[in-house]
Amino acid sequence: MPTDLLIDIGHSRIKWACAVDGRLVIETAGQAGVGLFEQLEQIVRRHAPVRRAVLCAQSRRATVEAITARLAQCQVDIDIIASGDRLLPVTPAYPGLGCDRWLALQWPWQQSRGALLVADCGSALTIDLVDTSGRHLGGWIMAGLHAARDGLLARAPGLAGEPCGEFMAGRPARTTAAAVAAGGWLQLAGAIEFACDRAGGLLDDHIDVWITGGDAPGLAGVLRQPAHHDPYLVLRGLAMAAKTT
């Protein structure tokens, strides 16, 4: 059966996996390192026949153009997703919603069929709400862990003058560097918990919480409420989108 190559071009990382008949093949998941184009060519050869590459491309136009040009040389068709451009269970709340945010909502809704909150913890922290009918209500965007920390240290460089050492995000830190490090995690967790509290008031229902993105694993010991951690939400959404066309 033909394979679809799924590529998530994020603000700071490029991730990929293969899908067959709309099903994500997790064993094929990877992310870009040195030799990106060679890696993509190897995937195309290894999983031939690849009928097309399905892309979520938020930014980095030059990177998108370079990737699509190299895939075209490999005789792979290109399908670049835009939010709401095909029928998926959860429709975007407004035009211009980031494609990654839209795609990340699809798999959680398919699994829970109930009210949910999805937090993507990457370069930005995005938080989105879906109600019990599968309607996207919108969400929030703020600086992610490293963007917030880098911004703080750029404005107050004196805070970066000592090694961090060990810290626990849920307890007061005993050094300045540890306080900065722990504060970043506390800020992420606090934003998600605040959004959960507001969601409970808006929806008057149980909220399933899903977290994804590069910093999601570190939140497991900080968040007070249970959360499903799935690092593949955008790729799962891409797989679902691939099946619709």
57 bridge partner residues: 9
Measuring CA to CA, how many Å separate 148 from each of 9, 11, 46, 79, 237?
21, 15, 40, 33, 28
Active site residue 100: yes
| 19 φ/ψ angles, rounded to the nearest 5 degrees | -135, 145
- Catalytic residue among 100, 120, 128, 208, which? 100
Burial class of residue 111 in the structure, from the number of CB atoms within 10 Å of its CB (0-12 exposed, 13-18 middle, 19+ buried):
middle
CA dihedral 207, 243, 126, 68 (to 10 degrees): 170
Catalytic amino acids?
Answer: 100
